[in-house]
Amino acid sequence: MAGIFSFKCSSCDKIHEGSPSFGFNAPDPYLDQSEDVKEQGKLTEDLCFYTDEDGTHYFVRAVMEISIDGVSEPFTWGVWSSLSKSSYDRYVETYDNPDLKDCFFGYLSNYLPYYKNTYALKLEVQPQENNQRPQLVPHESEHQLVIDFKNGINISRAQEIAEKCMHS
Ligand SMILES: [Zn+2]
């Protein structure tokens, strides 16, 4: 039977309960921009763009779910994906009423803790019903995050990743 994830933390000694969920408030490259560029761009809970010398860069907030063996709720990463302008426009236009057949190509736009360089992993952004954030499906790769997405992780790995996220 699938259960609830909980563990005694080796870092703070407390019991942490519930499947871990860690989010990023912005795509990492946005945070590197000057105040001017940030002000002229846009950052909400779900959308982001900014313009630099290379042009305008578009991003959406999404989720990547990694199943944990024997646990009902997945390990959830709230991360950003880049999108092309046309995909971003389509995403914004259909935001309140997404077409579930849509699927947008993007690049992962955050450096996740625990994993080595997750930035710019290729993926698909899949809109969801009921105002849920879109789901990310990474392209086939030897990257550990992609392998974990495909195969899921065991409880001790989930604990290791969660501790790293919470306490570093
Ligand atoms: Zn802890």
Cα–Cα distance for residue pair 17/19, rounded to 1 Å: 7
Distance 110 CA to ligand 1 centre (A): 23
pLDDT band for 131, please (50, 70, 90 cuts): confident
Distance 55 CA to ligand 1 centre (A): 42
Give the pair of three-digit tokens for residue 54.
């290379």
Distance 27 CA to ligand 1 centre (A): 26
What's the average model confidence in pLDDT over 58-64?
A: 98
Cα–Cα distance for residue pair 125/102, rounded to 1 Å: 8
Pairing relationship of beta strands 135-138 and 122-126 according to DSSP bridges: antiparallel
Least confident of 1-5, 98-102, 164-168: 1-5
Contact 20, 162 (CB under 8 A): yes
Distance 10 CA to ligand 1 centre (A): 7
Return the pLDDT at 1: 58
Residues 145-160 have pLDDT tens digits of 999 999 999 999 999 9
Distance 139 CA to ligand 1 centre (A): 32
Q: How confident is the prediction for the chain on average, in pLDDT?
A: 96
Distance 156 CA to ligand 1 centre (A): 14
% of the chain beyond a pLDDT of 70: 99
Distance 159 CA to ligand 1 centre (A): 10
Distance 104 CA to ligand 1 centre (A): 36
